[in-house]
Structures are given as structure tokens and as C-alpha cells.
A and B are shown apart, each in its own frame.
Chain A
């Protein structure tokens, strides 16, 4: 079954404590991306990757890092989380192009 898997699904943590949200896809897709979803603001792209070792900023990259060492994995790293990063995060993948075809089920982050 085609899947994008995110972990954890829920996380409550404190300001400044580094955290990583993992994302893995089993479709051999080249393109992966991260989004955050906030009420009234819709989905906004954080970072994207067109292939292994190729990453680029989306619309709201401040405070986030990503890496793409393997085709299937695209972790999202918050080095020093702050309360304004409390949000619902989605990882997505597509065979080609930045337009997402498959989304994970989301990670709800609460930064206290």
C-alpha cells in the first residue's frame, strides 16, 4: 500500500528542546515536502526536496531544518522550538514536481 508515514503523531514539548519529526515514503518518489497547517492560514510549505541531497526553502522555512540523505526519508528538525511553531505538520511526496500527491496523516506539535 502506498504510504507516507510520519512519527510521532502527537508531541507536547517545551521551548528550546530539539525535536525531530520523521517522514518516510514507500513509493520511490523523488519529491518530498513539509507543510504546516494553521487555522485560517491553510497549508503552507516549509521545505521541499527534489531528490537525495537536494533541499530548498518553501514559504515559511524560519526555525526549521530538513535533510534528505535517503530517497525514502525526509525528517523535519526543530533545533530550538518556540511556541509559534505549535501547529499541525504534514509530510508529502510526489513522483515528480512540487505538487504533492500523497500526504501523511499529520503530526500535531504543541510547544509550551
Chain B
């Protein structure tokens, strides 16, 4: 079955710098890759997603890239702000719609 690895588990970046979180997946049939942001005491929030027919997608300061050949995808956050501090989860989903989550990255934005 699908396995999703996420790195790093913790990431600290200076405010204003960029943050990159990487995920790899094992099932070449996976075709949908969402990213979720979870703030303290809240449920995960879908922030961006990408499908396998697209290599990159941007939404303001966040972007996701997908390399199907290497089976990895990444979340990029530019010009980080204090409110970006949260736990971020990647996920991969295939044709049967089953979704597997990575174990999360705790992002700290340092003042």
C-alpha cells in the first residue's frame, strides 16, 4: 500500500525567510497531493493541493511542486510570517481515493 514520508519533522526558520517541507510517496498510482496546516487546538486546514498532471501550483506565498518521476512533492512558503507557525501535513491519494498522510512537520517561525 501507499507510504508517505515527510521531512523534516521540525523546522525553524527566521521570519521573512523561506521554508521547504518535502514528502515522498511509494505508490506510482497516486494522483492527488494535498497539504494541510494544523494550528494549535484546531483541526487540519486544507491549504493547497496538486494533481499529478501539474508540476507546480502557487497561491500567494505558498507553492507546491511535484516530481512524478522521483515520486516526491514539496511545500514552499516564502516570506514567512509568525502566523505560519503550525504543523503541516502532506498526503497522497490514488484512484481509489484512499488517502495516506505524512507524519507532519512542526514549523517554528523565529522573530
By the criterion CB–CB under 8 Å, are B89 and A97 in contact? no
With an 8 A cutoff between CB atoms, is B91 at the interface? yes
- CB of B22 closer than 8 Å to a CB of A: no
Assess the B32–A99 pair: CB atoms within 8 A: yes
Task: Compute how far the CA of A41 lies from the CA of B99 in the bound complex, rounded to whole angstroms.
Answer: 14
Contact flags (1/0) for A25-66 with B, using CB distance below 8 Å?
000000000000000111111000000000000000000000
Query: How many of B's residues come within 8 Å of A, CB to CB?
Result: 20
User: How many whole Å from A35's CB to the nearest CB in chain B?
Assistant: 8
In the complex, whether B73 has a CB less than 8 A from a CB of chain A is no
Q: Is A74 an interface residue (CB 8 A)?
A: no
Q: Which of B10-18, B39-47, B62-70 contacts A (4 or more CB under 8 A)?
A: B39-47
Query: Is the CB of A68 closer than 8 A to any CB of chain B?
Result: no
Given contacts A4-B43, A103-B43, A106-B42, contact A98 B103 (CB under 8 A): no
Residue of B with least CB distance to A91: B43
A residues near B89, Cβ cutoff 8 Å:
42-43
Q: Which 8 A-B pairs have the closest CB atoms?
A: A103-B43, A98-B97, A42-B103, A43-B101, A42-B101, A103-B44, A105-B43, A97-B97
Q: Which residues of B come within 8 Å of A, CB atoms? A: 32, 34, 36, 41-46, 49, 89, 91, 93, 97-99, 101-104
